[in-house]
Amino acid sequence: MASEVEGLLRAYERHVQVPWDDRIAGPERVWFAIYDKTQERRLRARIKAFENATEAAGYRWRYVDVTDTFAEWMASHRYREAYFKEPELLESALDGYTRYVIDRIKEELQAPDVDSRTVVAVLGVGSFFGLTYVSRVVDGVAHDIHGRLLVFFPGVYEKQNYRLLDARDGFNYLAVPITAS
């Protein structure tokens, strides 16, 4: 399985070199780099190689790690103590968390140095499991994508259906899948 990340990197290198069509809509500018959830640490160790591949193809790279967004959001939430005492109350506030993640990614997408030749890479979406949906977050940022949004996706892609962390429920999305195979 160690070679899965290298295979994904090779597939990404090929994909990022294909000329980009600037006429496509935001949801079509999303790429999902799909890998087995057990490869998370190996993938993280190779992020710089994805950046290098992007720059070698003549594009810019911007990176955002959303792994800690729930902790950040919760730490700043005015009702956090109540949620710690009664976690079941948290469910009604999770739309706020989704908005927080969307805003965090939009910050990167709207940065002054991001343009139609920039890949904004998002790592850490596995941390969304049970809190929000990747599809909701991607939908929330899709219209702000100028270049490409690369989502590192720990899960599977089968029959045009994405399943985060191999969970039962999946979603069908317009994103272009990039896989090691």
For residue 20, give the DSSP letter: P
Structure confidence at residue 1 (pLDDT) = 45
* Residue 162's pLDDT band (cuts 50, 70, 90): confident
Write down the mean pLDDT value for the chain: 91
Q: What is the tens place of the pLDDT at every residue in 50-64?
A: 999 999 999 999 999
Q: What is the pTM of this model?
A: 0.92
Domains of the chain as residue ranges with CATH: 2-178 (3.40.50)
